[in-house]
Amino acid sequence: MAAFRRLGLLACTLLAAPLSFAADTPAPRDIWHGAMAMQYAELSDASERLEASAARFCQAPDESLRQRLENDWLSAYQAWQAVRFIQFGPVEQNSRGWQLQFWPDRKNLVGRKVNGWLKAPAAPDAQAIARDSVAIQGFPALEYLLYDDAMEDGRALSDPNACALMQAITTHLADTTSALHRDWQAFGEHYLDMSDYTETTLASAIQALEQLEDKRLGEPMGLKGAPANGYLAEAWRSEQSVRLVASSLEGLRTGFLPGLTALLREADALPLAEAFRDQLDKTLAQASEQPSGLVPALEYEEAFRGLQSLYLDISQLRHLLGNEIAAELGLMRGFNSSDGD
Partner 1 sequence: MPAIMLRRPLAAIVALSALMPFASVATAADDTVSADAVVHHYADLAHANYADALNAAEVLNERIDELLANPTAETLDAAKQAWLQARIPYQQSEVFRFGNAVVDDWEGQLNAWPLDEGMIDYVEGDDYQHELGNEGATANIVANEQIEVGGESLDVSEITPELLADLNEVGGSEANVASGYHAIEFLLWGQDLNGFEAGSGERPVSDYQTGDDCTHGNCDRRRSYLDAVSDLLVDDLEWMVAQWAPEAEDNYRQSLLAESDQEGLRRMLFGMGSLSLGELAGERLKVALEANSFEDEHDCFSDNTHNSHYYNGQGIQNIYTGTYQRLDGSVVEGPSLQDLLAQQDEALADNLSEQLDATMARLDAIKQAAEAESSPMAFDMMIAPGNEQGSELINEAILTLVAQTGSIEQAAGELGVTSLQPDDAGHRF
Give the total of residues touching partner 1 (CB under 8 A).
37
Which of 135, 209, 235, 244 touches partner 1 by CB under 8 A? Answer: 135
CB of 157 to partner 1, least distance (A): 22
How many angstroms separate the CA atoms of 137 and 114, rounded?
10
Q: Does 205 bind partner 1 (CB under 8 A)?
A: no
List Cβ<8 Å contacts ≥24 apart for 280-283.
Answer: 280/249, 280/252, 280/253, 280/317, 281/253, 282/313, 283/249, 283/310, 283/313, 283/314, 283/316, 283/317
Nearer to partner 1, 34 or 97 (CB): 97
Nearer to partner 1, 3 or 194 (CB): 194
Q: Does 333 bind partner 1 (CB under 8 A)?
A: yes
Q: Does 186 bind partner 1 (CB under 8 A)?
A: no
Query: What is the separation, in whole angstroms, between the first and last Cα of the chain?
Result: 41
Which of 226, 271, 301, 302 touches partner 1 by CB under 8 A? Answer: 226
10 Å Cβ neighbour count for 341? Answer: 3
Compute CA distances 23 → 26, 206, 256, 258, whole Å: 7, 30, 21, 17
Nearest of 41, 102, 46 to residue 76 by alpha carbon: 46
Give Rg (Cα) of the chain.
20
Q: Does 98 bind partner 1 (CB under 8 A)?
A: yes
Of 65-73, 142-150, 178-186, 227-235, the window that binds partner 1 (rule: CB under 8 A) is 227-235
Q: Does 121 bind partner 1 (CB under 8 A)?
A: no
Nearer to partner 1, 123 or 232 (CB): 232
Give the footprint of partner 1 on this chain (CB under 8 A): 95, 98, 102, 105-109, 112-113, 131-135, 222, 226-227, 229-232, 323, 326-327, 330-341
